[in-house]
């Protein structure tokens, strides 16, 4: 399960999605999230699904990577679906004691699962196709107007990017610690859910020690390179939007507008 978490990883490439301006990719992700939460009915969801599938096809990413990243969400989706099925009022389909499943509950749970999968997949697409340094630059450019009110935009963007960058590293470190403790007789896979959760407690101390050690090493390395924030810094790569960026924005806005229109008109 630990190895299945792929958030924060970057897969280099020269695809259409890889070559998009990172600022545009941030904008497209935001518009797509708004479009997803505005969707009502199968037509609106199908339209957003087609957009997402086209984006992944353009990125030329391995399909296995996508499904691998979604695997840790199975438990969350199962629990949330059960809550929607049994606690959404409507026409009764099945009942057992105090639990009553409704047809509206099943419909809500289905839409919730589809929305969650597409939302997480779109987020993965952003991190899979954008390097941490490029993402930092894009975040700083997008949040640049906040500098007028003395907001630490550069530091905030750097902090977010470092956090994303260290997710795969900490996952790898956790897997190593689990393997070492398994070799010493630790059992993380048998027993009830509560027992397995308690068995993971010994992982926390070495994991936190490792995280703080890496953070200290990174801070020392940045100080040795005379890093002092965003003041007076120049950029090796100047971001410029091109025709492909304009085309991607137009298509995404059309999909979002169609989604809102279909949802407002009550398309099934």
Q: What is the pLDDT of residue 78?
A: 84
Q: What is the pLDDT of residue 4?
A: 52
How do residues 250-268 score in pLDDT, each as one tens digit?
999 999 999 999 888 876 6
CA gap 90, 100 in Å, rounded: 10
Residues of the chain falling short of pLDDT 50 = 2
- Listed in sequence order, the residues at least 6 apart from 104 whose beta carbon sits closer than 8 Å to its beta carbon are 88, 89, 90, 91
Q: What is the pLDDT of residue 191?
A: 65
How do residues 143-166 score in pLDDT, each as one tens digit?
888 878 878 887 888 787 787 778
CA angle 64, 70, 75 (to 5 degrees): 140
Contact criterion met (CB below 8 Å) for 75 and 93: no
């Amino acid at each position: 399960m630990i190895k299945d978490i792929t958030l924060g990883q970057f897969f280099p490439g020269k695809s259409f999605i890889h070559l998009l301006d990172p600022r545009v990719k941030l904008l497209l992700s935001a518009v797509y999230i708004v479009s997803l939460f505005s969707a009502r009915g199968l037509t609106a969801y199908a339209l957003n699904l087609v957009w997402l599938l086209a984006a992944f096809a353009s990125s030329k990413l391995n399909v296995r990577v996508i499904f691998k990243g979604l695997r840790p969400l199975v438990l969350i989706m199962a629990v949330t679906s059960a809550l929607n099925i049994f606690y959404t009022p409507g026409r009764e389909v099945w009942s057992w004691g105090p639990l009553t499943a409704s047809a509206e509950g099943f419909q809500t749970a289905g839409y919730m699962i589809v929305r969650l999968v597409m939302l997480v997949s779109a987020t993965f697409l952003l991190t899979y196709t954008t390097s941490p340094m490029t993402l930092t630059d894009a975040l700083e450019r997008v949040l640049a107007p906040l500098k007028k009110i003395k907001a630490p935009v550069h530091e905030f963007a750097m902090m977010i990017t470092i956090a994303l960058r260290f997710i795969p590293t900490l996952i790898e470190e956790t897997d190593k610690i689990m393997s070492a403790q398994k070799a010493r007789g630790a059992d993380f896979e048998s027993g009830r859910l509560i027992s397995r959760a308690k068995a993971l407690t010994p992982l926390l101390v070495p994991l936190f020690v490792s995280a703080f050690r890496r953070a200290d090493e990174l801070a020392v390395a940045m100080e040795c390179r005379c890093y002092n924030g965003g003041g007076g810094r120049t950029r090796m790569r100047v971001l410029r939007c091109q025709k492909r960026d304009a085309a991607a924005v137009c298509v995404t806005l059309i999909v979002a507008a169609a989604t809102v229109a279909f949802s407002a008109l009550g398309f099934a």
